[in-house]
């Protein structure tokens, strides 16, 4: 049995789209897939070859890396000047640049770039007091590198500041599982335990 997908191809914009007769509410996930195909296809057209280039180190666009690096550096500078909100914006731009890379380039090289930008943005948000935004970044960071204690520290700090002490404690414990002597983690872990006791009316 073959089912025909309710999509159509537009030759001028070279994209596919859902047919208008389909109700939007029922095809949320499908729309994501359609947009993913469109992104991949437009990247493919840009390569101007019959096959997309292999994801080697040589095919990695260095220019973009330079731009990301510069943006990152200026953001770090802003962090040093303690203008965290500005820094967060710069990190955001850097992150946008890093993720704008053609999808056929080496993922292995893209990932560290993304992570560095994300780490910067997460820390900038934390310092600026935007804990909900910082938490989102920290969650992504944990997904990308779950064995890095600092990522758990980031998430724990956000949770702590959002008042979820029990989850924060569990985050610090998870971070300590990978480095039991991490000084900041240990310190925050103690603070967190005290806060939990206080919250429970034990102290």
Partner 1 sequence: MSSQSRYEYDENSETWPYFVLTTILVPLIPITISKISNLISNKSKKLESNKFKSTKNWFNPYNIKEIKNFKSLSERSKLFSKQNIFISIGWILILVLYLKISSIIIIPSESHFDPWKILEISESATEKVIKSAYRKLSLKYHPDKVDTSSMSQKDIDAVDSAYVLINKAYKALTDETVRENFLKYGNPDGPNEIKHGIALPKFLIDGPTSPFLVLIYVLLIAVILPLFVRSWWNGVKSMTKNGIHVDTADHFMKVMINANPMKLLLVDDIIKFISNSQEYFDIDISLTPNKVESLLMSYINREPSNEETLRLKVVAITPKLIAAFIEIAAGFKNTEYCLKLVDTHRCIIQALNIDKDAKHNQFKQILQLPGVDASKVDFKQNMITLGKLLKKPTIDPSKFLGTDEKITKNILNYAKSIPLIEPLECSFKVPSENFIPPNSSANINLKFIIKSPLHKSKPEIKDLSKIVIETQFKEEESMENMRDPMKVVEKQNIFELDNLPPFFPDEEYIQNNCGWIAFLVAQRDNKIIEIPKQIIRAESKNLKLTQEEFAKSDCEVSTFKIQLQAPSPPNVGEYQFRLIIRNLVYFGSDVDIPLVMKVEDKPVEIPGKDLYEIEDPDEDSIAGAMATIRGDPVKKIEFENEYESSDDEGDDEEEEELWTDIDTDTEVEEDAVDLDENQK
Which residue, among 75, 143, 62, 73, has the nearest Cα to 110 in the 3D structure?
62
Shortest distance (Å) from residue 152 CB to partner 1? 9
Answer yes or no whether residue 99 interacts with partner 1 by CB under 8 A: no
Residue 61's CB: how many other CB atoms inside 10 A? 12
Among 36, 146, 187, 190, the residue binding partner 1 under the rule CB under 8 A is 146
| 29 sits near partner 1 (criterion: CB under 8 A) | yes
Q: Is 20 in the site for partner 1 (CB under 8 A)?
A: no
28 lines the binding site for partner 1 (CB under 8 A):
no
Please tell me whether residue 203 adopts helix, strand or coil conformation. Answer: coil
> Phi and psi for 10 in degrees, rounded to 5?
-105, 110
Asked if 176 is part of the footprint of partner 1 (rule: CB under 8 A), the reply reads yes
d(CA 184, CA 153): 8
CB of 97 to partner 1, least distance (A): 21
Q: Which residues on neighbouring strands pair with residue 8, listed in sequence order?
A: 17
Contacting positions for partner 1 (CB under 8 A):
29, 140, 142-143, 146-147, 163, 166, 169-170, 173-174, 176-178, 197, 199-202
């Amino acid at each position: 049995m073959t089912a025909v997908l309710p999509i159509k191809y537009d030759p001028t914009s070279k994209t596919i789209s859902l047919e208008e007769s389909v109700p939007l509410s029922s095809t949320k996930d499908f729309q994501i897939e359609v947009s993913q195909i469109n992104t991949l296809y437009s990247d493919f057209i840009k390569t101007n070859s019959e096959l997309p280039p292999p994801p080697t180190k040589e095919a990695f666009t260095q220019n973009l890396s330079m731009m990301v690096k510069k943006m990152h550096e200026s953001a770090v500078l802003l962090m040093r000047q303690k203008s965290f909100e500005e820094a967060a914006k710069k990190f955001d731009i850097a992150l946008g640049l890093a993720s704008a890379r053609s999808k056929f380039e080496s993922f292995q090289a893209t990932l560290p770039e993304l992570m560095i930008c994300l780490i910067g943005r997460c820390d900038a948000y934390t310092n600026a007091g935007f804990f909900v935004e910082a938490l989102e970044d920290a969650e992504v960071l944990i997904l990308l590198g779950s064995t890095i204690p600092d990522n758990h520290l980031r998430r724990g700090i956000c949770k702590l500041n959002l008042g979820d002490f029990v989850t924060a404690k569990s985050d610090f414990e998870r971070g300590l599982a990978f480095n039991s002597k991490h000084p900041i983690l240990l310190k925050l872990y103690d603070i967190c335990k005290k806060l939990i006791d206080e919250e429970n009316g034990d102290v």
